[in-house]
Amino acid sequence: MIDYFKYAVDAEGICTLTIDQPDSTTNVMDQNFIDSFRAALERAIADQAVTGIILTSAKASFVAGADLKSLEATLTTKQDAKTLFDQCWGFSSLLRWMETAGKPIVAALNGPALGGGFEIALACHQRIVADVRSMVVGLPEVGVGLLPGAGGTQRTLRLLGVAKTLPLLLQGSQLKAEAALQAGWIHAVVPAEQLLAEAKNWLLAAPEALQPWDRKGFRVPGGSSPQQPDLAQLFMGTAAALQASTFHNLPAPLAITSCLYEGMQLPIDKALRVECKYFVKLNLDPVAGNMVRTVFINKTQADKLVRRPAGIETRKHVKIGVLGAGLMGAGVAFGAAQSGIEVVLIDRDQAAADKGKAYSETRLRRDIERGRSTPEKMEAILARIHPTTDYAQLKDVSLVVEAVFEDRGVKAEVFAQAEAMMPADAVLASNTSALPITGLAQSTQRPQNMVGLHFFSPVERMPLVEVIRGKQTSDTALAHALDFVGQLRKTPILVNDSRGFFTSRFIGAFINEGVTMVKEGIEPALIENAAKMSGYPVGTLSVSDEVGLDLAYKGAVQAQADLGPEHKAGSSVEIITTLVVDHGRHGRKNGKGFYDYAADGSKRLWPGLSSIWPLLPKARQPDVGEVQKRLIYAQLVDAARCMAEGVLTDPADGDIGGCFGVGFPIYLGGPFAMMDTVGIAQVVAECDRLAQTWDKERFAVPQLLRDMAAQGKTFYGPNRILAPALQVAL
């Protein structure tokens, strides 16, 4: 066993157990952690010289959570319910023994304590936290399709009552120190340098080693009977709200609610076993496995720049340039300045450049009004943004992001002006959402320095950046571009060059299928509701309006010009052309698209749609399940094609990009996780059925999927396929 705990007893009988995982910057929960924890506790409880125990950490955080390698191994190994229950109960019962063993224990939290780490703290008799900026506590398991499995639900319930516990657990809340203190989750907040002294003082006061729920006559705050009128109403309202918001696609929120409903009526020991029961149930559900893999494992690895070329020295960007001060350029400038980077923000005239900087000021003033920032911080950030028309100010930048119109000529013009001034080793990145990087690089002097950085709007809120490698992009340029994304604290995915890359064509498949249904006479409301019921944030037609029907039209015209008469436009282009050209409907931007938009922000589907494309009789309208399958499987087919063509070389990039970039239902884990869950052979069979029923081309699966089905291959796990050879699909 590798010992993760340092054991020390002072002259006054205070034992300090310091979590300090060897050869790691963080403490993570794996089997070594649990074994070490058990051994340290047993030693301290048995030691006659010990009168009280302090539990703390030598790292910057308390416990960072589960070990990624252990989690991934669990996902790829078939689990049985009994084994999972025994594992869950083994740790949960250890914490229960700890709090009833007769010696007072205080958790001295020097840094963030989340998930299992905070469950350990909840089992301590006192929780004192350091007043440090990074401090947060919480139980965020719902975010990966799980619930706390080591007493977190039941101890929080007994501390705070069901009315406060439900929102904390259903939202996966992570509270700052003062908020946690006010909520009653912790007992004290002290300066960091006084943390251990305060913990020791509490123990020296000879507190009783007894949790509130173990005292005679204890009752759950606010009532312990769900039949109590106010609690009955709370549970009914929660159930209705969950149905409305999740359509039962996410099992974790309902399991948490059930766990609290049952647990509040039971003694703590039985309630903890109920918690384990629901924890196991969620673990056996593919939703949790897919969410853990994509939201936690794959995203964490992407955030650590796992796709960065090896052997290249990390570059810290101190000063960058941004070409174009419109919505996207202003957003990139704002994000960079917030990250401490100087920004030269260039536009065609000074007024436009100043307007781009004003965007940051507006956002920052809003943060001040909400108590999230201060005037001093605002001034420091704004001082880093330098609006100008002078390209000579790019002379000492390390990277330039181009964010002008999707027009090859305009981009070539600003590239030339920038390259004439910027250092020879600086990266030139285009924020294009569709134009191939290799083609854009042909107009530059140093195509090896060209890379795509596709940001999503609004830049400051969207976590994803799609990094596109052109045919001539060097490893150095790619690595330095990824370094920039890392400095922005955003999640990068890496794709090879193609028209639309991955995310634009992936969301395009969703839009194309939904818009095509309008032409077929399917009820627009049915199309929209089917999308939302499937777990998409908004419907297909709403997305189209938000993106801009006029932009989609211009993109189609550009594609036809680039690819020539042999190019076959998507089935939705005819509908969009009719709306834009014949009816002047450009989307939300001019208040007219598939929806009509009122001045107060409300919207309704445009009645005129049925005049142009008559509705099918009700008897011939498809059921909602068929519409859902068409929307989802159109995207699965496109994702598989991206893999087959070498646009994607790792399914993790597709799953992260789909879920965090363009709203693919998070509970499915992304297109590749979903295909593994459904089964590749079943996906092929369903696509063949849809192709025969609706359209042979849109649902035609690549040979890659048929080969995988025949060979029993998957995208993840021990039978995963090897990535196709790297190629650039133009």
Kindly report, residue by residue over 415-462, the tens digit of the pLDDT.
999 999 999 999 999 999 888 999 999 999 999 999 999 999 899 999
Of the three residues 439, 462, 496, the one that is the final residue of a domain is 496
DSSP state of 15: E
Q: Indicate whether 614 and 584 sit together in one domain.
A: yes
Is residue 290 included in any domain, yes or no?
A: no
Q: Indicate whether 265 and 378 sit together in one domain.
A: no
Task: Kindly calculate the radius of gyration of the chain based on its CA atoms and give it in whole angstroms.
Answer: 28
| Residue span of the structural domain in which 456 resides | 319-496
Q: Indicate whether 454 and 517 sit together in one domain.
A: no
Cα-Cα-Cα-Cα dihedral sign, residues 700, 706, 708, 709: positive
Reference 283, options 88, 467, 549; nearest CA is: 88
Catalytic positions: 454
Task: Find the helix or strand (DSSP H, E) in which 383 lies.
Answer: none
Mean pLDDT of 648-674: 96
Looking at residue 384, its pLDDT comes to 97
Q: How far apart are CA 298 and CA 203, in angstroms?
A: 42
Q: Indicate whether 510 and 491 sit together in one domain.
A: no
Mean pLDDT of 128-148: 94
Q: Is the pLDDT of residue 722 over 80?
A: no
Looking at residue 647, its pLDDT comes to 95
Is residue 537 included in any domain, yes or no?
A: yes
CB burial class (10 A; 0-12, 13-18, 19+) of residue 601? exposed
pLDDT in tens, 380-414: 999 999 999 999 999 999 999 999 988 888 999 99
Task: With beta carbons less than 8 A apart as the criterion, state whether 433 and 465 touch.
Answer: no
Is residue 223 included in any domain, yes or no?
A: yes
Average the pLDDT over each of 69-83, 386-400, 529-543, 610-624 and give the range with the smallest value. 69-83
Domain count, the chain: 3
Q: Residue holding tokens 């509270």?
A: 175
- Count Cβ neighbours within 10 Å for each residue of 628-659 and write b for 16 or more, e otherwise: bbbbbbbbbbbbbbbbbbbbbbbbbbbbbbbb
Q: Is the pLDDT of residue 55 over 90?
A: yes
pLDDT in tens, 195-251: 999 999 999 998 999 999 999 999 999 998 999 999 999 999 999 999 988 998 999
Both tokens assigned to 642: 């991206």
Q: Is the pLDDT of residue 548 over 50?
A: yes
Task: With beta carbons less than 8 A apart as the criterion, state whether 147 and 122 touch.
Answer: no
Please state whether 425 falls in left (phi above 0), alpha (psi between -120 and 50) or beta: alpha
Mean pLDDT of 96-114: 96
Q: Indicate whether 244 and 346 sit together in one domain.
A: no
Both tokens assigned to 121: 């703290």
Amino acid found at 10 = D
Mean pLDDT, the chain, rounded, equals: 93
Q: How far apart are CA 714 and CA 507, in angstroms?
A: 23
Q: Is the pLDDT of residue 729 over 60?
A: no
Both tokens assigned to 44: 């301290």
Task: With beta carbons less than 8 A apart as the criterion, state whether 147 and 252 touch.
Answer: yes
Q: Indicate whether 509 and 485 sit together in one domain.
A: no
Mention every residue, 6+ apart, whose C-beta is less than 8 A from residue 691.
697, 698, 699, 700
Both tokens assigned to 296: 């936690």
Q: What percent of the chain has pLDDT over 90?
A: 85
Mean pLDDT of 66-82: 75
Kindly report the CATH number assigned to the domain that includes residue 541: 1.10.1040.50
Of the three residues 235, 268, 284, the one that is the final residue of a domain is 284
Map 538-550 to HEC letters: CCHHHHHHHHCHH
Mean pLDDT of 607-628: 96
Q: Between the CA of residue 510 and those of 207, 495, 629, 631, 662, what are the distances in Å?
A: 61, 20, 11, 6, 10
Looking at residue 726, its pLDDT comes to 37
Q: How, if at all, do strands 464-469 and 491-496 pair?
A: parallel
Cβ neighbours, 10 Å, residue 305 = 17
Q: Indicate whether 106 and 233 sit together in one domain.
A: yes
Q: Indicate whether 467 and 530 sit together in one domain.
A: no
DSSP secondary structure string for all residues of 516-528: HHHHTT--HHHHH
Q: How, if at all, do strands 52-57 and 105-109 pair?
A: parallel
Q: Indicate whether 238 and 211 sit together in one domain.
A: yes
Kindly report the CATH number assigned to the domain that includes residue 400: 3.40.50.720
Q: How far apart are CA 146 and CA 276, in angstroms?
A: 11
Is residue 331 included in any domain, yes or no?
A: yes
Looking at residue 128, its pLDDT comes to 98
Task: With beta carbons less than 8 A apart as the criterion, state whether 597 and 606 touch.
Answer: no
Both tokens assigned to 493: 């995915």
Kindly report the CATH number assigned to the domain that includes residue 275: 3.90.226.10
Looking at residue 175, its pLDDT comes to 96
Looking at residue 551, its pLDDT comes to 87
Q: How far apart are CA 348 and CA 649, in angstroms?
A: 38
Q: Between the CA of residue 241 and those of 245, 391, 665, what are the distances in Å?
A: 6, 53, 18
Is residue 293 included in any domain, yes or no?
A: no
> For the chain, how many residues are written?
730
pLDDT in tens, 185-202: 999 999 999 999 999 999
Q: Is the pLDDT of residue 681 over 80?
A: yes
Q: Between the CA of residue 524 and those of 385, 520, 586, 610, what are the distances in Å?
A: 45, 10, 18, 9
Mean pLDDT of 128-141: 94
Cβ neighbours, 10 Å, residue 471 = 17
Is residue 728 included in any domain, yes or no?
A: no
What global pTM score does this model have? 0.91
Is residue 418 included in any domain, yes or no?
A: yes
Reference 433, options 517, 548, 538, 537; nearest CA is: 548
pLDDT in tens, 282-306: 999 999 999 999 998 999 999 999 9
Is residue 577 included in any domain, yes or no?
A: yes
Looking at residue 724, its pLDDT comes to 56
Of the three residues 232, 266, 284, the one that is the final residue of a domain is 284
Both tokens assigned to 476: 């150095």
Longest dimension (CA), the chain: 88
Reference 514, options 670, 653, 631, 673; nearest CA is: 631
Q: Indicate whether 100 and 154 sit together in one domain.
A: yes
Q: How far apart are CA 479 and CA 492, in angstroms?
A: 12
Q: Indicate whether 476 and 533 sit together in one domain.
A: no
Q: Indicate whether 409 and 263 sit together in one domain.
A: no
Q: How far is CA 291 from the centre of its chain?
A: 10
Reference 62, options 141, 118, 8; nearest CA is: 118
Enumerate the β-bridge partners of residue 13: none
Strands (DSSP E) along 395-548, which ranges? 399-402, 427-430, 450-455, 464-469, 491-496
Average the pLDDT over each of 388-402, 507-521, 549-563 and give the range with the smallest value. 549-563
Reference 486, options 624, 350, 347, 304; nearest CA is: 304
Enumerate the β-bridge partners of residue 8: 16
